[in-house]
Amino acid sequence: MGQHGEISGSLEKTVDECEKKLLSAIRPNFVFRVFDIAFGENGVEVCGSSLVLKGNDIRNHLEGCSRAVLMCATLGADTDRLIRTAEITDISSAFVMDALASAAIEDVCRLADEEIKKQLPDCFFTWRFSPGYGDFPIEIQKDFLETLNAPKRIGLCTGENNILIPRKSVTAVAGISENPVPKKRRGCASCNMAESCAFRKRGDHCGF
Per-residue pLDDT tens over the stretch 112-150: 999 999 999 999 999 999 999 989 999 999 999 999 999
Please state, in angstroms and rounded to a whole number, the distance separating the CA atoms of residues 45 and 50. 8
How many C-beta neighbours within 10 Å does residue 21 have? 17
The pLDDT assigned to 208 comes to 46
Please state, in angstroms and rounded to a whole number, the distance separating the CA atoms of residues 94 and 34. 36
Contact 182, 64 (CB under 8 A): yes
Angle at 133 between CA 131 and CA 139, to 5 degrees: 40
Per-residue pLDDT of the chain (208 residues; tens, 9 = 90+): 666 677 777 888 999 999 999 999 999 999 999 999 999 999 999 999 999 999 999 999 999 999 999 999 999 999 999 999 999 999 999 999 999 999 999 999 999 999 999 999 999 999 999 999 989 999 999 999 999 999 999 999 998 889 999 999 999 999 999 888 777 645 565 565 566 666 566 555 554 4
Angle at 56 between CA 134 and CA 118, to 5 degrees: 80
Q: Which residues contact 120 (CB under 8 A, 6 or more apart)?
A: 34, 176
Please state, in angstroms and rounded to a whole number, the distance separating the CA atoms of residues 31 and 72. 6
Please state, in angstroms and rounded to a whole number, the distance separating the CA atoms of residues 169 and 164. 7
170-187 pLDDT tens trace: 999 999 998 887 776 455
Q: Is 183 exposed, middle or buried (0-12, 13-18, 19+ CB in 10 A)?
A: exposed
To the nearest 10 degrees (0 to 180), the angle between helices 77-89 and 9-25 is: 140
Please state, in angstroms and rounded to a whole number, the distance separating the CA atoms of residues 116 and 32. 8
Query: What is the value of pTM for the model shown?
Result: 0.85
34 alpha carbon, distance to own chain's centre: 17
Full set of structural domains in the chain with CATH: 9-201 (3.40.109.40)
